[in-house]
Structure 1
Amino acid sequence: MRGQILHYDDGLGSGLISGDDGARYEFRRADLQQLRPLRQGMRVDFVAEGQSAAKVYIIDNPGPQPATNAGAASAYNTALGDLETTNEDLGLWGYFAKAMAKSFSGEGRARRKEYWSFVLFQLIIVMGAIFAFAMIAGVNGYDYDGASYDASNLSSGMLALGMIIAVVVFIPAGITVTIRRLHDIGLTGWFIFLSLIPYLGSFILLIMSLIPSERRVNKHGPYPKPLD
């Protein structure tokens, strides 16, 4: 069946197609059979499965390529991909807030600035929370009617509770921003399971987090930063 794209949200990785039969069909990024930028009004061919569209092919003519040799065509395709960019350039806090807002979404891409902004503010907030709980729980005892009460156990418990709360709050966002960072360099998010390998796995993930963004549209979304 054929139709045209009514809407596509790259952040959510989903969109809506108006079929030539008058019905509307939802589709996801994974249903796309080509890595090309999407825009409203594009003609597509798809397989209708209930209210969803599968095996979505873009049938708009992309226009003539400026050269016919393989090298020039490859360069053209790369440039075409570069034109699809989020043009997003948030500050450090803005990227941290974005990572927290997407705590339960591993879809899309995260550039290095977003990943390291999250790491930076996570560290600052966790250390600040631990310090605050340590100050609150720092009283070792007090006198009441002449009796001394040893609160060391209470202090240790409060400090441990503060550490647990501070760390647990950031675990979901830490997992998903790492997955999106892997997506950004063209890898599958399943590589996050390398973290289960003591020492070596975390080191490999650290190296991966330092790799620049894949400078083209990939299957996880457009180039996540403004063009130079």
Structure 2
Amino acid sequence: MRGEILQFDEASGEGLISGDDGQRYRLSFRDLIRPARLFAGQSVDFLPRDGFATDVVVLQAAPASSAYASPRTERQGKPEHGPWGYFMKSMRLYVDGNGRARRSEYWWFTLFYWVFLLIPLVPGMIFIGVGGDTYNDGLTALGGLFFIAAGIVWLALFLPNVCVMIRRFHDVGLTGWLVLLGVIPYIGGLITFIITLLPSQNYRNVHGPVPGGHSRETAEVFG
């Protein structure tokens, strides 16, 4: 499996790897197949075993300062795949609030969220309204089915919506717990809306590197 070294302590010979599967693995210098100097940011190949990285091979050397690379360097790597790619990323992560999400990632997901929600919701409202005005039970029942479909869509997208908001808060350097402000009537929604509009911190923060790099965000969900 491919991965990236998140941190490594030369004194203890221990570190941490973020695997391509989104999991983190303990790293020990003695598990290297070929001895090499290790730095945060290096690409490695390894065998995952019970939370540990074994048979580690260093694929890419990196300077010691790579963990604190410039924003431009952090943003290099595999590019995002546009609006639909952002949406699918959030769906793939689903209940994962780790790391950071730039504004474009959050707002493209939000756009698709409302599109998919309104597709069944709008005709449901129309059919129920028309059915009620004409005393047509068939139209009212059809509208009810559309409302049920809208409820299913809402349930399916609820957790990804919360998690991408958590990552958006992480991106501006805030704790994910602040999403709970949204439950405060009136002012809570306004505060969370303002936070989602704030620009990214253009440097690595405690929640991970600047979004857009090739590394996997690894901070804790509500850290």
* TM-score range for the pair, normalised by the shorter chain length: 0.5 to 0.7
Task: Identify the structure with the greater helix proportion.
Answer: 2
Q: Per-residue deviation at 1:131? A: 3.7
Aligned to 2:64: 62
TM-score (norm 2): 0.65
Q: Deviations over 1:162-194 (max 9, x none)?
A: 221122121011100000001111111011110
Aligned equivalents of 1:15 and 1:82: distance in 2? 27
Of the three residues 86, 89, 107, the one matched with 2:80 is 89
- Higher alpha-carbon Rg: 1
Aligned equivalents of 2:74 and 2:40: distance in 1? 6
Asked if the contact 1:111–1:181 (Cα under 8 Å) also holds between the matched residues in 2, the reply is yes
Asked if the contact 1:139–1:151 (Cα under 8 Å) also holds between the matched residues in 2, the reply is no
Q: Per the alignment, in what secondary structure is the counterpart of residue 151 of structure 1?
A: helix
Aligned to 1:103: 94
Q: Per-residue deviation at 1:151? A: 2.8
Aligned positions of 1:96-175 closer than 5 A: 96-131=87-122, 133=124, 140=131, 150-151=137-138, 153-175=140-162
| Partner amino acid, structure 2, of 1:12 | G
Asked if the contact 2:117–2:154 (Cα under 8 Å) also holds between the matched residues in 1, the reply is yes
Q: Per-residue deviation at 1:161? A: 1.0
In structure 2, runs of 5+ residues without a counterpart are 1-10, 33-38, 45-49, 54-61, 214-223
Aligned equivalents of 2:19 and 2:52: distance in 1? 16
Q: Does 1:8 align with 2:18?
A: yes
Q: Per-residue deviation at 1:157? A: 2.6
Q: Per-residue deviation at 1:130? A: 2.0
Aligned equivalents of 1:189 and 1:210: distance in 2? 15
Q: Does 1:210 align with 2:197?
A: yes
Q: Per-residue deviation at 1:109? A: 0.7
Q: Per-residue deviation at 1:200? A: 0.8
In structure 1, runs of 5+ residues without a counterpart are 24-35, 42-49, 54-59, 64-76, 142-147
Q: Per-residue deviation at 1:137? A: 7.5
For this pair of structures, how many residues does the alignment match? Answer: 181
Q: Deviations over 1:96-152 (max 9, x none)?
A: 1111111110001110000000111111111112245567879859xxxxxx98335
Aligned equivalents of 2:211 and 2:92: distance in 1? 17
Aligned to 2:183: 196
Q: Does 1:223 align with 2:214?
A: no
Q: Per the alignment, in what secondary structure is the counterpart of residue 38 of structure 1?
A: coil
| Partner amino acid, structure 1, of 2:137 | D
Residues 199, 61 of structure 1: alpha-carbon distance in 2 compared, 3 angstrom cutoff: same
Q: Per the alignment, in what secondary structure is the counterpart of residue 25 of structure 2?
A: strand
Aligned equivalents of 1:51 and 1:100: distance in 2? 25
TM-score (norm 1): 0.64
Aligned-CA RMSD value: 3.8
